[in-house]
A and B are shown apart, each in its own frame.
Chain A
Amino acid sequence: MDREAAIVLRHVTKSYRRDQIQIPVLSDLSLSVEEGEFLALMGPSGSGKTTLLNLIAGLDRPTGGEILVQDNDLARMSDGQITKWRSNHVGFIFQTYNLIPVLRAQENVELPLLLTSLSRKERRERARTALRVVGLEGREDHFPRQLSGGQEQRVAIARAIVTDPYLLVADEPTGDLDRVSAEEILLLLEQLNHEFEKTIVMVTHDPQAAKRATRLLHLDKGKLVADVAQGRDVRTAVQPENAS
């Protein structure tokens, strides 16, 4: 089962130290995500869902346990290695879009490509393609302030997919959007999942958004309390530690 799994977490724990106090966030969490899955993470504030997302994306390191993404053991990678790995394999979508305000839409999308050996012309073509995929053709020269929230998030998604990453991580991608824009973004994510077979891990508070995922995880106090796939409780079926 490991061979088919895109992401495997084994007995992962994570705690933060604030002054002299150790604050546990995730405790003994095991999980397997298959390639091409659209996973939604839900739970109350402080349940550890963003921490889990950050661990899967290689932005943070576990206190204990093992995280394998495409057979890469993230915990064993150096800072430089994991940064390079992120640039090649992970696309990020944030709640507040986090576009660079001084760059035009096209330049924002090109940003991750600056780390590649592509020529300027190739970078432009790829950025235009990504903007076309998210439906923003003709908005290439707009600055973020000249776009609506929904359009900004589309640019952010274009930036996330422009390097053709294996994994997309989205932290409340519709949290700052109105219902119509949120619906458009969710449709886009669904499209990326179905048509481009991107593995997506999305943190959300919105049950409507979570319904668009193929699998839903509920976290509470750092523990996995529910694991639902297409209306089916699969928690007992997923046992990565016994899979190999």
Chain B
Amino acid sequence: MKFLGYILRNARRNPVRSLLTIGSIAVCGFLAMVLLSLFSTNTEVRSTLVPFNRVITMSAQGFTQPVPIALVREIPAIDDRSGIHAIVHRESDDKPLVSPFSWYGGKFRGESATFFAQFGVDPDTLFDIYPELTIAPDQLQAFKERPDGTVIGRKLAEDKKLSVGDSFELKGEIYPFDMNLTVVGIFDGPEKRDLRTCYFNWNFLNEGLKRDFQGQGANNSGTVLMRCKSDELVTKLCAAVDEDTKSSDRATKTQTEDAFVSQFSEMIKDLQTYINMVGLAVAFSLLVICGVAMAMSMRERTSEVAVLRAIGFQKGQILFMVLTEAVLIAGIGGFIGTFGTMLLFKFWDISPYTMGFFPFFYIPTTVAVTGFLVSLLVGLLSGLIPAFRASSLPVIDGLRKVV
């Protein structure tokens, strides 16, 4: 601590260079945080889904192929028949918490591109399957009663300036008919949930197919969503359902919600590798920036270091002071770049600008802390060579630079 004053003064010796170094590190930190959070956000959000023990059944051919709506009834029967009893039943009426889950993919009110998700579901069970989503009881009741009713997430309502009672028109892109819905409820949910989703009654979609598309594609669902009692039972249920359907033309693949979501991450795994490589390149750039700044700084101070050595400072003390200075500068830049970025995205919702790719975006604390520690390590490494050279320089050689 005795040397801290001297170290701080040295760090401020050349304010322009120090600020530029700190700024460079902060910008690199910002870039690294954004890139690394693209995937870690997904990983972290997936982990929050695990405790709900939700299971998704999709076609064995892939999630673009539908499954028969009959599975919504049959899966609970399989669960009972096989004696697993994994699916949660509602206490009030013993209804199994199972729902169809069909992607509609329409365009909202003439938009050239719409980036929020739209799903046809069972209004009666949806909010029991998603207990983390909250909605006013009267709005939930309206959702259950009104065939053309839709409930939308709070952020979607804010983005589109919608409130209960407003019309909600979706122009069919995949399906050859439009959906003229009415907002009957607005739901809320945890911070790390997509609150830009719209749910409507699967029956309304099915009726539309029957009416306007000669029944083609009717009585199908994209996937079937259900909630189970425990993760141990989940494994058994998945195996039982897939075993039951495997010999039919509607073979299924049943998996946890977490595993289902991770499929999308797998699809961009190569991209993740490239982004991690960019992250490494950023770290290396930081190392060079800090190293050059420290080398320049120490070169200017050769004679001063020699004076310190002459008046009795040990090599280790010089090494400590130079390294502390390097770590301090890199740490300040790293702190701004990591925790500053974290704070920025805490208050700035960039989702509306990401074309739906990131329904929410934030910097996970683990990523920020890791980034900050990396900046400290970079500071330490960048200071090693200048510090070692400064502490090892023979005193008389150092003094000769000036004397």
Residues of A in contact with B (beta carbons under 8 Å apart): 50, 54, 57, 59-60, 79-80, 83-84, 86-88, 92, 94-96, 98, 100-103, 107, 111-112, 114-115, 159, 171-172
Top 10 A-B pairs, shortest CB-CB distance: A87-B312, A102-B9, A98-B307, A112-B311, A59-B395, A114-B2, A102-B13, A96-B402, A86-B312, A115-B312
Complex Cα gap A94–B396 (Å): 12
Interface size on B, residues (CB 8 A): 26
Contact of B303 among A54, A98, A103, A114 (CB under 8 A): A98
Complex Cα gap A115–B9 (Å): 18
- Contact call A54/B396, Cβ cutoff below 8 A: yes
Q: Is B41 in the interface zone, CB < 8 Å from A? A: no
Complex Cα gap A79–B393 (Å): 12
Please name the residue on chain B nearest to A53 by beta carbon: B396
Residues of B in contact with A (beta carbons under 8 Å apart): 2-3, 5-6, 9-10, 12-13, 303-304, 307-315, 317, 394-396, 399, 402-403
Complex Cα gap A150–B315 (Å): 31
- Contact call A102/B12, Cβ cutoff below 8 A: yes
Complex Cα gap A172–B12 (Å): 31
Complex Cα gap A6–B44 (Å): 72
- Contact call B307/A92, Cβ cutoff below 8 A: yes
Complex Cα gap A57–B314 (Å): 16
A53 to chain B, nearest CB (A): 10
A14 to chain B, nearest CB (A): 11
Contact of A83 among B13, B304, B314 (CB under 8 A): B314
Query: Residues of B contacting A101 with CB < 8 Å?
Result: 13
- Contact call A95/B403, Cβ cutoff below 8 A: yes
Please name the residue on chain B nearest to A91 by beta carbon: B311
Please name the residue on chain A nearest to B310 by beta carbon: A92
- Contact call B314/A102, Cβ cutoff below 8 A: no
Complex Cα gap A233–B13 (Å): 51
- Contact call A83/B403, Cβ cutoff below 8 A: no
Query: Residues of B contacting A57 with CB < 8 Å?
Result: 310
Decide: A111 near B308, CB < 8 A? Known: A60-B396, A79-B315: yes
Please name the residue on chain B nearest to A50 by beta carbon: B403
* B315, B317, B396 interface centre (most CB from chain A within 10 Å): B396
5 more A-B residue pairs beyond the given contacts A92-B311, A102-B12, with a C-beta to C-beta distance below 8 A: A59-B310, A59-B396, A83-B313, A98-B402, A100-B304
